[in-house]
Chain A
Amino acid sequence: MSNDNDIILSSATSMSTLTINEVSKDGFGYNPSVGPQSNIITPEASTFLLSSKKSIITNNPNSIYDKNIINKKNLEISLSSLAFLFCEMVNWCHSNSKGIQDLETRLNGLGYQVGQRYIELIKLREGFKTNKREVKIVEILQFIHGTFWKAIFGKTANELEKSQDVLNEYMITDNVPLMSKFISIPKEYGELNCSAFMAGIIEGALDSSAFFANVTAHSVPITGYPLRTVFLIKFDDSLSIRESLRS
């Protein structure tokens, strides 16, 4: 049935090594360069799915797909371990960057990938009965400031404000941000703000949810809170149009 003229090309560059002639080993696995034809139920697959044995193909006993990620036991680790790792991330980014701006961009990028994943995980854990997709700017911000922050950093953020002067600008403030808590910045790093990594997490979460934004971290110490950091969130202009259409 599969026709060589009807190849659906892979959108994933990382998978470019999969060719249209590739036959999956066990009759399982989707091949994007073939499309749905790569993934019909074969007689072997059918027999396998109907049998109760599972161990033959899933040779990885620790497969993530066999774990419960919604109610799993909350494992803990030492904060120091994250601190040591983070310092090395900063060192490595620093040795590869052209300046402080570039270094912050790299840290932001590392955080971004974490945020993209966390937003889906946390929403999955909230459950679908009582909870909802965030579709409004104010609501997603409240979610990030509250549930999201708490899940990742162990406490909610401190303040959530709308900018008085600039449209589409919001600020989330954390008096004691986790990532700055354990890193003292050497002088040669100048104005570096390590919370750029946290800003990246927020940006990744917002972009994933189609609230396209640019998030930056700014050190704004006050008495009693020398590490206080403001995360400045600038939403894309198109969002207010989307929002106004619905209200």
Chain B
Amino acid sequence: MSKSSKYNGDDIWKNNVEKINSELFTLTYGSVVAQLCRDFNNNYHEVNNQLDKMGYNIGLRLIEEFLAKTGVRRCQTFRETSEIISKIGFKIFLNIVPTIENWSSDNKTCSLILPEPNPLTEFVELPITTDSKISKELWYSQILCGVLRGALQMVQLDVDVNFVKDVLRGDDRTEIRLKLNKVLKDEIPAGED
């Protein structure tokens, strides 16, 4: 029996999470991304970086609440970790459960496929302009990558996280790639990126 089945994301979501209407979150995040695009003068690489940084800071703090609410213990394998991220982590914070696929043969790289509606992007349509810069450069939900990177670092996992597909760009699905670099040995994580 896999270890992740000990923890039930649905139960925690139902009984132990204070909930709000997702629209306030969707509109607030939209307001932030739009403002960042203006502040960085539509330099979308910088917008991605800033979102990632904000996410990273969130991840560093979010892990504490996650562990306290779920009682999850150290995972034995990265496969197990990814299951926990999807079925427990995404479930109790965003109320969605991404699917996990595309495992590399060394079991260190996999994809999270985000289901629709994604609470970050529910009302979003990238603007139509003659140059398609925005749909080539902006990763609208980049904050999620930062969150995962930050949270995993707190449990001694050095992981690269990045988007490879986004339905907002016209892709067939929204896909985050996770790549485990190494398991850290009791190192103290750096504060700010």
Contacts and interface: CB of A to CB of B under 8 A. Distances in A.
B27 interface: yes
B20 A76 contact: yes
B20 A110 contact: no
Contact of A82 (B28, B65, B125): B28
Interface residues of A, number: 44
Given A78-B95, A79-B18, A85-B25, A17 B131 contact: yes
Which DSSP category, helix, strand, loop or mixed, fits chain B's interface?
A: helix
Interface in A146-164: 151-154
Interface string B162-189: 0000010010000000000000000000
B116 A62 contact: yes
A76 B170 CA distance: 26
Given A76-B19, A77-B19, A113 B29 contact: no
Nearest to B37: A14
Contact of B58 (A63, A78, A85, A121): A85
Interface residues of B, number: 45
Interface string A82-116: 10111111011000100000000000011101100
Contacts of B127: 14
Contacts, number: 120
Which DSSP category, helix, strand, loop or mixed, fits chain A's interface?
A: helix
A61 B173 CA distance: 10
Contacts of B57: 88, 91
Contact of B22 (A22, A76, A151, A153): A76
A46 interface: no
Interface in A45-69: 59-64
Q: Which 9 A-B pairs have the closest CB atoms?
A: A77-B22, A88-B54, A75-B22, A76-B19, A79-B18, A84-B58, A113-B31, A114-B27, A17-B129
10 contacts: A19-B130, A63-B125, A74-B21, A76-B22, A79-B20, A84-B62, A85-B25, A113-B27, A118-B23, A152-B23
